[in-house]
Amino acid sequence: MTVCDALMAIERPPRLNLTGHALFLDLDGTLAPIAPRPQDVGPEPRRTQILTRLGAAMDGRLAVLSGRTLAEIDHILEGAVTPVAAVHGLDRRTPDGTYRPATPHPGLARAVTAFHRLAAADPQLLVEEKGLSAALHYRLAPHQEAAARALAQDLAGETGLTLQPGHMVVELRSPGPDKGDSLDDFMALPPFAGAAPVFVGDDLTDEPAFEAAVRRGGFGVLVGPVRNTAARFRLEHVDAVLDWLEAAL
């Protein structure tokens, strides 16, 4: 995709169709502002109310696809959404509430140890252990970006873990489905089947879901600054996302 294609994403999305669309939402940077530390994000009454109302109005065609763990998603969203793909698609709970835990890759322990070793030299580096993945956040230590990326790249090659770069974070995850695969799988299930998917997200990790939504006749909505993306539309920030969702109700 060219820069000219990316500039098309400055257009605001059309009104959400509560009867014809299936809605898929990222969490951090989309439904909740990015915080200095992942643990700083918590429940917010307006967001919970909007999601609860949307789920009912769309007959359950609402899912969250996030890099967070399932427990974190449920805490932050106060259980307002049942269909969830957590850890970038590795861990899923289906619309009927069925949950089958995934198996972590054996190389994760090595990655966690290496991440903590680097973080021990700089307290501004944050290590997040997710069971199926490990993330090294350098948001508070941007000068460590090169070191963090180099370490993650080396570990991916040595262990077979999947490198998942994001905004101010590198993550090593167990190989497996991504957010695009999760969107495809949810679309094969009731109540999503037959609807046009809409995915809203902000990070590079959301691109597979943007692409999957387009393939299935829907569209993506990028949150944040204009960049090269498969999303067709754009909203400026989290508050704009919540305003857009609320306007459909």
Residues classed as catalytic: 26
Burial bucket for residue 40 (CB in 10 Å: 0-12, 13-18, 19+): exposed
Give the residue among 204, 209, 159, 206 at the shortest CA–CA distance from 187: 209
CB contact at 8 A, 230 and 204: no
What span, in angstroms and rounded, lies between the C-alpha atoms of 170 and 236? 24
Judge whether 20 and 225 are in contact, CB under 8 Å.
no
**Closest alpha carbon to 216 in 202, 230, 203:** 230
Q: What are phi and psi of 135, to 5 degrees?
A: -120, 145
Round to whole Å and give the CA distance between 177 and 168. Answer: 22
Q: Are 156 and 26 in contact (CB under 8 A)?
A: no
Q: What is the DSSP string of 110-130?
A: HHHHHHHHHHHT-TT-EEEE-
Alpha helices in the chain (DSSP H): 3-7, 45-57, 70-76, 108-120, 145-159, 179-187, 207-215, 238-247
